[in-house]
Chains A and B, each alone.
Chain A
Amino acid sequence: MVVMKKLSVLISAVLALAFHQCLADGSPIKFGKVNDNELKMSVYDLDSSAHAAILCDYGETWFEYDRSGDKGFQVYFKRTVRIKVFDEEGVNAGDSKIILYQSNGSDREKLIETEGITFNLENEKIVKTKLENKSIMEKEEDKYHIASTFAMPNVRQGSVIDITYTIKSDFLFNIQPWSFQYLIPVKWSEYYVKIPEYFIYKHTLLGYNSLAINENSTQMGNITFVSSERSGGMVTKTTYNNENISYKESCYRLVMKDIPAFKEETFLTTSSNYRSIYSFELSSTKSINNVYKDYTNTWEKINELLLDDENFGKRIKSAGFIRDEIEELISGIQDTTEKVIIVYEFLKNRMRWNLTNSLTSDDLKKPYSEGNGTSADINLLLIKALREAGIDAQPVALSTRKNGMINPAHPSLTDFNYVIALVKINGKNMLLDATEPDAPAGLLPERCLNDKGRIISEKNADWISLNPEGSDKRTSLYTLALSPDGNITGIVSHKREFYNALNYRKDIHSASSSDDFYKELEKETEGLIYNTINLTDLDSIYNPVGEEIGFSFSNGVEMNGDIILLNPLLFENTSENPFKLKERNYPVELPYPINELLIFTYELPPGFTTEDLPKPAMVTLPSNAGKFVYNVTLNGNTLMITSTVQIKKTLFIPAEYETLKEFFNLLISKQSEQIVIRKT
């Protein structure tokens, strides 16, 4: 795959000596030099609840030319960090796990010059405890990673911990990203990066905090080659030549200060979108002879790269083995939509997704014959199959929800981790993902609903919106009778569409059987007994699912002497507000809109009537983002309650949180208003 190749700059030399500039003067921290204030500090000034804080975090990345000459440039990353522990809860703050990358067991990043000291103030004296080498343990995590772990000695309330380590790496593709923000506050965080002109990296800053200092400058770097020549003849003579090469280095100094601790919150697609991290991706290189090799610095370039890639564009073309089967499949079918659906269904039912997300595939034949594969295996096959059916299908590269959002301003190949298919039918776009067995063509699984994807095409390269084509839509009609002892019997008809139908079908298919599924549901609600269950179109995924359930429920009322207190929505009411906190710092990201209509009709027992019905309610969110409508009416002996909840917007910024919270508070309290029913 394109992204994981190790790079080396080719230079012919026998011996090489590299000189690199000394570290910049003015580095903000000196390992081991802790001052009295830091030791005496008892609380973090900007956040008194912090259990620990990073006082200073300094990272440097620089390149050195390998002296033995055969590895080319190597990149060094050195970090020095000072942590202060304020109370017992913070004593684990210095325990470290450093992940090193390895490739095929032989090439790997190396951890060198690791040191750690814990400083404690005992009776006005500074006591130092050093981290011993034998406390540093290393082992292989998995095929691509090695972890080096250690716990700092003698840490307690008031301790100051200094840690420094250096990682030496041959892997230049992604140099160490720098995390400014952690789960504890950071006072000063600085990253100093020096990159030789031969490498051009794309920088990306994620998160809500901004840089206090962002300086660029250039310096000169130097490589000296020593080569030897032996002359033949009667007397052999060896001459040594010194060759000196100067190059420019771009230096970046990035600083953030007074960074608050990062707090995880609900309804966030992924925290890495919001934590302050600065990362680098190699976009092009040029060799010493000035040949410029472009990697990924524009979306157009990425488009080209992927189309040309063995495991993407070329891989799609290689699946010609599918031709005969597809031709047979669609023979006689004229209508384009029908063709698309037939091919989509065929491939979806034949292939089972192995839960691995991928953008590229290194083989399509084996997955096809075995009937299972990664998301790229399946969808690249789908694209080829559609093309063989005469349909113009294009791949769309995207990043799944958990993987983070794509930033159109920063072209980056490594941001993509998934691919789906795009077809155009009568001028209209349809996106297809064949990994989800219960999804009809055009309805993307939740993991794909992440803002936008990139169409990878020779002629039509562009962005395409990944907004959901449907909502979580359900209409439920309850026709019930209330008996004097409080028992409720009747029928409910549910009609489920789009994502509501998809989720329902997924759930019922993962149970041992439909019967089992309903048995479990029944168990979950105390007092509920299912009598009859009739399902319509359970497996006709292009239609809504219909459920007709006959049931009885004994927990719908509270008997209070002469009064029956009815909970009108029985077990359907929203009982707890998902948004309880006073305020929220990050957006609320719902995957799809919500559309729920509930209608309850009760036949009251003879001789009973209602007293003081709940008043109707209508609550709306600003700019038509959503609404809640509630109505209770009595007609003779029939009590009817309707509740409509619609949320049309899926992204709410922090400033809108308060209104969203209040919307739900009103909704919940209205739905829980009980109805008084008593004998006349």
Chain B
Amino acid sequence: MFNKNFIFGLIVLLFYESATGQGYSCYSIPDSLKINATSVLRFEENILTVKSISSATYKVHRVVTVLNKKGENSGQLVLQYDKFIIPSDIKIVVFDASGKILKKVKDSEIQDYSIEESSLFSDNRVKHYKPFVNVYPYSVEISYELEFKGYIGLPGWIPANQYNLSVEQSTYILNIRTEAEIKIKELNFHSEKSTSEKDGIKTIQWQLNGFNAIDEEPLSPSLEELTPRVIVASNKFFYDGYSGSLESWRTYNDWIQSLNEGRDNLPELTIQKIHTLTDTIKDLRQKANILYEYLQTRMRYVSIQLGIGGFQPFTAETVDKVGYGDCKALSNYYLAMLKAVGITAYYALVIYNPGRPIFYHDFPANIYFNHVIVCITFGNDTVWAECTNKYFPLGYLSSGVAGHPALIVTPEGGKLVTTPKSPAESNLFTRKCEIKLINDGKGEIKMETTFSGLRLAEGLGKYVKSPEDQLKNLYEDISLIDFNIISHKYYYQKNESPFIKLKAVINCNRLTTISGQRMFVPLKPLSDEIYIPEKVEARKTPFIIDFSYYDIDSIVMLVPQNYDIESIPSNSNIKSEFGTYDLSVNSSDAAITIVSKMKLNTGVFVSSEYDRYRSFLSDIDKDENQKIILKKITATK
């Protein structure tokens, strides 16, 4: 009765059943993986096969369970590609909580559109699909293959790549020809990888089993620094017709040099013009400044990134002709001008990042530098130039670049440095006010503010607008109630010690509150609230304060004639490793003088210090929010 075929059929049937997704039921997720998690990576197997210095394939297969609405982003397909990456075989299946198939997504339902981000034009595209499911939890299975027809970077492994995503199991397999030079860097990974070799192909496998979700905490290092990661790079590559090497910073330097070779020829007329502008000036720094201003007036920033154009600048001739370029092109153009008058300067790659940059000195790769500036040497001095900004003075670097790793590209193999960053005392914001208090709650304010050091960019942002827009923004910035800006004017001192100054006259109808005999006067009426980052219970990660600054406020308040001072807040001094705060309040018959100085330091602090940091800020906030109480002078006095 039970013949061979029957049994075989039975086995096949059983096998088939388990392959249709019953394994993706949500009920088997261990509780520990649900803590702080809004989604769970159930299974992942990504296989990178490096075939040669210009060809590779990458197979992706993963299953993610979305636990609730907040975790929906993990269940999406977001596939970025361009001219050199060809996606194929995209399969997306959606399952319900028990593992039953809800939907098999059709190709036509996957959106495909171009993304420009900050460029006018680029060849970046994205394939995108987001499931819309009624009931949580649900699971999404995604698989696809990418073919690289030339690469400089290769896809690495970062299984827990979102906050609140836990990992059940993730595997990364790297197949390389034994002679290929692939280098690897592991971060936050505590298991052993396995290696094997067969038929001239070396296979390395990493596996992560059971990783708890990371909750986002304010001021924490970026997720990439906290989560298990493998970065992969090829020492030699061939991309868009250009070959290069990432073996060392020296070879990387030489590759960039080769891309830039011969692209700094200027048209004869422009060379003549440059000489006319600078020949009469002896001082080299002044010469460089004149050329910098010439660059700023003649050129504008337009980003066009196509293929190798993502790494190689337009020629100086092209930039001269069209009057625009991106950071690479404009820097190259400025270098060409400096070269024409005999000033030594270099093309410098730098990391632009509003927060702390990620840089592994021991792992040369193309994953760090995303911006280009110019480094000019005058004897022992170096002066940096940001070529994409029309307003900065020569030597000024914004906070996104200051204090960050840079590679100065030189014929002698290049030099890795850190760009300069001004200390807290130099990143100064000052505000001087004279406030005349009036009987009925009104106040007349004369105000002068200055922005300098790394705060200059803040002030410049306000200064460069039309007077009408400047006024509109001032109305939005100032947090008084019912006020009119009578006049305002910005000044810009553009030199080695640059600053922006604002002078304004403001009348406020409701500056103080009158309640019976008393007038309540805010101690710091024009100051913004101090930003205190969110409370965290049992903080796990260290926190980073990246931006140091110094705020000085001096206010003179003129007391109305028929009022006496009833009480003024007392002086205050707060000192901690995070910074200092000094408040002094003095009074005479007619006036109250308030001086506050707040200095915030940079630093990296352990998680247990976080509550103290918040207390430091909230203590300052409390001091700043105090009121001066005036009392009407009664006849009996």
Q: How far is the CA of A95 from the CA of B567 in the complex (A)?
A: 60
Interface residues of A in 79-106 (CB under 8 A from B): 88-89, 91-92, 95
Q: Does B61 contact A (CB under 8 A)?
A: no
Instruction: Mark interface residues in B89-125 (1 if CB within 8 Å of A CB, else 0).
Output: 0000000000000110000000111100000110100
Instruction: Mark interface residues in B68-97 (1 if CB within 8 Å of A CB, else 0).
Output: 111000000000000000000000000000
**A167: min CB distance to chain B, Å:** 19
Q: How far is the CA of A338 from the CA of B50 in the complex (A)?
A: 65
Determine chain B's interface SS by DSSP, over half rule: mixed
Q: Does A532 contact B (CB under 8 A)?
A: no
Contacts of B111 in A (CB 8 A): 142
Contacts of B298 in A (CB 8 A): 156
Q: How far is the CA of A370 from the CA of B626 in the complex (A)?
A: 60
Instruction: Mark interface residues in A508-538 (1 if CB within 8 Å of B CB, else 0).
Output: 0111110000000011101100000000000
CB atoms of B629 and A560 under 8 A apart: yes
Of the residues A95, A563, A669, A672, contact of B302 by C-beta under 8 Å? A95
Beyond A352-B132, A352-B134, is A673–B113 a contact (Cβ under 8 Å)? no
Q: Does A493 contact B (CB under 8 A)?
A: no
B453-461, B476-484, B498-506, B575-583: which lies at the A interface? B476-484
Q: How far is the CA of A576 from the CA of B477 in the complex (A)?
A: 11
By beta carbon, the residue of chain B nearest A561 is B567
By beta carbon, the residue of chain A nearest B302 is A151
CB atoms of B515 and A675 under 8 A apart: yes
B259-267, B363-371, B404-412, B466-474: which lies at the A interface? B466-474
CB atoms of A49 and B322 under 8 A apart: no
Q: How far is the CA of A149 from the CA of B120 in the complex (A)?
A: 8
Q: Does B510 contact A (CB under 8 A)?
A: yes
**A513: min CB distance to chain B, Å:** 8
By beta carbon, the residue of chain A nearest B482 is A665
A: contact size bracket: 35 or more
Question: How many residues belonging to B are interface residues under a CB distance threshold of 8 Å?
Answer: 59
Beyond A581-B472, A672-B513, is A140–B114 a contact (Cβ under 8 Å)? yes
CB atoms of A352 and B133 under 8 A apart: yes
Q: Does A611 contact B (CB under 8 A)?
A: yes
Q: Does A177 contact B (CB under 8 A)?
A: no
CB atoms of B627 and A560 under 8 A apart: yes
Of the residues A142, A560, A665, A673, contact of B515 by C-beta under 8 Å? A673
Of the residues B112, B467, B510, B532, contact of A526 by C-beta under 8 Å? B532
Q: How far is the CA of A668 from the CA of B468 in the complex (A)?
A: 27
Q: Does A154 contact B (CB under 8 A)?
A: yes
Which of B114, B567, B626 has most A Cβ within 10 Å?
B114
Which of B300, B567, B626 has most A Cβ within 10 Å?
B300
Instruction: Mark interface residues in B278-300 (1 if CB within 8 Å of A CB, else 0).
Output: 00000000000000000001101
Beyond A565-B627, A669-B513, is A676–B518 a contact (Cβ under 8 Å)? yes
Q: Does A51 contact B (CB under 8 A)?
A: yes
CB atoms of A351 and B113 under 8 A apart: no
By beta carbon, the residue of chain B nearest A137 is B121
**B604: min CB distance to chain A, Å:** 23
CB atoms of A151 and B113 under 8 A apart: no
CB atoms of B520 and A674 under 8 A apart: yes
Q: Does A157 contact B (CB under 8 A)?
A: yes
Q: Does A647 contact B (CB under 8 A)?
A: no
**A615: min CB distance to chain B, Å:** 9
By beta carbon, the residue of chain A nearest B465 is A89
Q: Does B381 contact A (CB under 8 A)?
A: no
CB atoms of B324 and A153 under 8 A apart: yes
Beyond A512-B38, A512-B68, A576-B479, is A154–B321 a contact (Cβ under 8 Å)? yes
A–B Cβ pairs within 8 angstroms, 28 of them: A49-B466, A88-B297, A88-B300, A88-B390, A137-B304, A143-B112, A154-B323, A155-B323, A156-B298, A156-B300, A156-B323, A352-B134, A509-B69, A510-B70, A512-B38, A512-B67, A524-B534, A576-B479, A582-B484, A611-B518, A612-B516, A612-B517, A669-B510, A672-B481, A672-B513, A673-B515, A674-B627, A675-B515
Task: Knowing that A88-B464, A372-B134 touch, tell me 20 more A-B residue pairs with CB under 8 angstroms.
Answer: A49-B466, A91-B300, A137-B304, A143-B112, A151-B322, A154-B323, A155-B324, A350-B134, A370-B102, A371-B133, A372-B132, A526-B618, A526-B621, A558-B627, A577-B481, A582-B475, A612-B515, A613-B516, A665-B509, A669-B482
